[in-house]
Amino acid sequence: MPVNYATPAAEQLHPVAGVRLGTAEAGIRKKDRRDLTLLALDAGCTVSGVFTQNRFCAAPVQLCRDHLASGKGIRALVINTGIANAGTGEPGRQAAQATCDAVGALLGIGADQVLPFSTGVILEPLPVDRIKAGLPAAKADLKPDNWLAAAHAIMTTDTVAKAASRTVAVNGKKVTISGVSKGAGMIRPNMATMLGFLATDAGISQALLDQLVRDAADDSFNCITVDGDTSTNDSFVMIASGQSGATFESAADAGWNEVRAAIIAVAVELAQAIVRDGEGATKFITVAVEGGKTGAECRQVGYAIGHSPLVKTAFFASDPNLGRILAAIGYAGIADLDVDGVKVWLDEVLVAELGGRAAAYREEDGARIMKQAEITVRVDLGRGNAAAKIYTCDFSYDYVKINADYRS
């Protein structure tokens, strides 16, 4: 079960004017489940995205980058689950293109105005004929209030659908933001298998949206790890329809800071939901690193702790074997780190300082914290003013079982 997370009810997810969503059963890999999602965008939407840094990036990722760069104006997104269309070479690229061709013909738009996304098993061919056959049903299902259905239809090993929504009032206008994400394993975005889609009815210039999607990713999806594996298909896409009447050309515009903060908050909620639903997760852990020279080195330390199988299994066992955290800090790669200046806390309990165990630390205090479902590891590097947060989970027996049975 996810750690302190429940899927929002359909009525809690607000429609975004200019965006319609539809789902269908295409039988891409498994029968009797909705595995195909179509988003239709009104003319005038601005769209931006960030994608996996894995060099073995999937064919749809390659095509998304090309279509966004073309500047033709994106009018549709198509998402399939079950097959990732990664590690499929030129036939995979042709399959992704054929999917875009089919969506374009169905909606009366250019194929280069379509962004394709796939998630699922790597190294297997995409069944394009099944996608083509399912698209008319997805089109017939297009509705502005279909966010919950879309959240369900993009799942793979997820145990719950992930969605978030909120509104913010700016300049006398109500701005709506809604989004969905999927992912539970192969999670360590570097912009898992991770997909995120977020839409707002604010009007946002292309340059401003391009910067916002990077900033939002850095504060959300680039701060999570389940197992340290960067997927071939990671994608985070942001859509701005402009239909609320609130428009922003630059960061200096009145109300932009409020809209930006609300959008990033939705992205953070979607990203944290992935970790809370991490494969086999029983605990949600925030690694807060402060006192660094740069944010990058703080993140480096945070990920060293969050990736460590020894740290993660200790959390699963509620075992305060906290030397594992010190070891991770030490091998994080900061060559000139003065370990005598480092302090480590579990929640409010000071665990380590002056190069070793804190004088006041008692193992029973550590054990008490380790039994909680949500835990904060705080690290002060004692060498500057920078800070960063990483969100992770524990490793349980179920992580191995889920991934051993993934293709069954």
Residue 329 near residue 342 (C-beta atoms within 8 A): yes
Separation between Cα atoms, residue 317 and residue 307, nearest integer Å:
16
Sheet order of strands, 343-346 included: 356-357, 349-353, 343-346, 374-380, 284-292, 386-393
Q: What would the two tokens of residue 318 be?
A: 């509620």
Q: Compute the half-sphere exposure of residue 368: CA atoms within 13 Å on the CB side of its CA.
A: 9
Q: Are strands 173-182 and 349-353 parallel, antiparallel or unpaired?
A: unpaired
Residues designated catalytic: 193
- Give Cα separations from 291 to 308, 341, 361 (angstroms): 21, 10, 21
Q: What would the two tokens of residue 163 be?
A: 């969605």
Helices 323-330 and 295-307 cross at an angle (nearest 10°) of 130
Amino acid at 237: V
Q: Are strands 162-170 and 386-393 parallel, antiparallel or unpaired?
A: unpaired
Count of beta carbons in the 10 Å neighbourhood of residue 243: 18
Q: What does R_g of the chain's alpha carbons equal in angstroms?
A: 22
Nearest Cα neighbor of 176 from 185, 184, 168 is 168
